[in-house]
Amino acid sequence: MMAAEKTHHWRGDMRINESMSRHTSWRTGGPARRFYKPADLDDLCDFLQEMDPREPLLWLGLGSNLLVRDGGFPGTIILVHGVLTGLDWLDDTTLRAAAGVTCAKVARVSAKQGLTGAEFLAGIPGTMGGALAMNAGAFGGETWDHVVAVETIDRGGQLHTRTPEEFRITYRTVVGAADEWFVAAHLALDHGDSEQAQANIRELLAQRSASQPTDQFSCGSVFRNPPGDHAARLIEAAGLKGKMLGGAQVSPKHANFIINTGNASAADIETLLNQVQGRVEQLYDVRLESEVRIVGEHAAT
């Protein structure tokens, strides 16, 4: 007799060997062994409760700041963009933003409500979950400057509410409880002028478009700025602006961006990143730290 097929209680969309080139802003990367889009937060809880606790797990928003190697990810990737989408006002100045909401939308909604402080989020090409995970910043603002509480989920599918004091928060780094992931942020904002806030966003976006390759496939900034300096300045000074490797290129517009010119493999991008890092260190004795999360396996040779 054949063994009975194991039943499950989750309701979302499960895909097998899903190409990550469809889900990352670099538009490259190998397949995820399993790719799951939950139906909603309750479904996500059910899914995690039934998951093997040894399963490698990766959370995905817009796929910015992420490079999946060409050999793919040997576990489960969970998509929250388009799923955890709630935006709710907890009081006059506190916004609950779910992890799958884009940073740009948080900026727009806050400004239209006549609240200020979140305008800088318009310059972050990702979701709130990713912004929380790395304390993303732009134009002088940082995500955790406005966080008064977060909601998380653990591997067992249990939900928690935590305060900033329960995390170690530094420049582009956030460390909290092991095996917990963000599902929402509570952001404290200030009363202000709606028209002025919206004008500020338009100005920030114009600055970004003028200085960054926003019309090309990239992950945003590749390296963190070293203390007292800028990664882009060091890369340009090293003569690396415009350098190509396969289909990957150090952007001629902004040296702290690596772009996919159309046919870059993940290996092209990772190799170019490493070459830039090595050359800057060789010339200036500065080790640039990557902001990019690189996951998965190299392609078989």
Active site residues: 172, 221, 291
Tokens 């290129």 map to which residue?
Answer: 249
Scored b (16 or more CB within 10 A) or e, 195-227 reads eebbebbeebbeebeeebbbeebbbbbbbbbbe
- Residues 6+ away with beta carbon under 8 Å from 99: 59, 61, 80, 84, 127, 128, 129, 132, 181, 182, 183, 184, 185
The string of DSSP letters for 123-142 reads: G--SBHHHHHHHT-EETTEE
Whole-angstrom Cα distance, residue 130 to residue 102? 9
